[in-house]
Amino acid sequence: MKAALLIESLTGNTWTAGEKIASLLQQEGWSITGLSRVREPDHAAIQDADFVIVGTWVHGLFVVGQAPWGLGAIDKLPMMRGKKAATFCTFALNPGTTLDKLTSSVMGRGADVLGGVALNRSKLDEHSEVFVDRLLANLPPALR
């Protein structure tokens, strides 16, 4: 399986999570076609990938008004019809409905989103493993 990762990061936590996820997927035999910023997507990597992972950080007022940062840029990503996808967000206190909003945005680009995980920024190692475990468990049998 080949995956492209698209990350929106402010402080580096979300980028670090993306790198951890890419490394874990490589340990499972996946190829990573690209790891790029949402605002500067690697179009060739997306086109070459079977699977697209989109991650961003939670923006909001601690426990209210949470939303995925860069949603406008995510809405402008290239169409991904025929691609499987997964989403993740990094948060400090409470992700709220960020993951749902992010998933809807990626689905709006035509991808078949199989799920997502909210990763607490203080538990990136553990939560990155949870993300990959869930992703692999949710893959259709034909893609395993």
Express each pLDDT in 30-43 by its tens digit: 999 999 999 999 99
Range of the domain at 34: 2-143
What CATH number should be reported for the domain holding residue 120? Answer: 3.40.50.360
Q: Which residues are within 8 A (CB) of 133 and not within 5 positions of it... i.e. 6 or more apart? A: none
Residue 120: its pLDDT value, please? 97
Number of domains forming the structure of the chain: 1
**Token pair recorded at residue 11:** 């402080």
pLDDT tens-place string over residues 79-96: 999 999 999 999 998 999
The predicted model gives 6-12 an average pLDDT of: 96
- 132: enclosing H helix or E strand: helix 124-138
Tell which phi-psi region holds residue 60, choosing left (phi > 0), alpha (psi between -120 and 50) or beta.
left
